[in-house]
Amino acid sequence: QVQLVESGGGLVQPGGSLRLSCAASGSIFSITVMGWYRQAPGKERELVATVASDGSTKSKDTMKDRFTISRDNAKNTVYLQMNSLKPEDTAVYFCYAVIKSSPSQIIEHGYWGQGTQVTVSS
């Protein structure tokens, strides 16, 4: 009933920039956390950045100087601005959100998007 749809991935040269978007749709009462993870081939999925409903953010220290997360609550959309991209940033980037679908829902559920490919290469 809830879907997360990512967009904005693609091929970019080292040092370039990309802006990822993720829009949540469906039955949504509130979104507690929304953000991004990534997974490269043969590696574990790792946190990129998340933003909570109060505006607080979390991100990996190795990415804080290059990646910026933002959120448009009215549109249930989260963005990831990625600058100074490096080949090691190549991965599938997954949107993630913790959502309560109705006021009567007891437990918030975590949802994953399908992922969008980011490739950094010359």
- Determine the 3-state secondary structure of 88 from DSSP: helix
Chunked into runs of 10 residues, the chain (122 residues) has average pLDDT values of: 96 98 96 97 96 92 92 95 97 97 90 98 94
According to DSSP, the β-strands at 116-120 and 10-12 are: parallel
- CB atoms under 10 Å from CB of 19, counted, come to 14
pLDDT at position 107:
86
pLDDT at position 72:
94
- Written in H, E and C, the secondary structure of 27-54 is CCCEEEEEEEEEECCCCCCEEEEEEECC
Structure tokens at 13: 């040269």
pLDDT at position 44:
97
pLDDT at position 43:
96
Structure tokens at 71: 């959120």
Burial class of residue 37 (count of CB atoms within 10 Å of its CB; 0-12, 13-18, 19+): buried
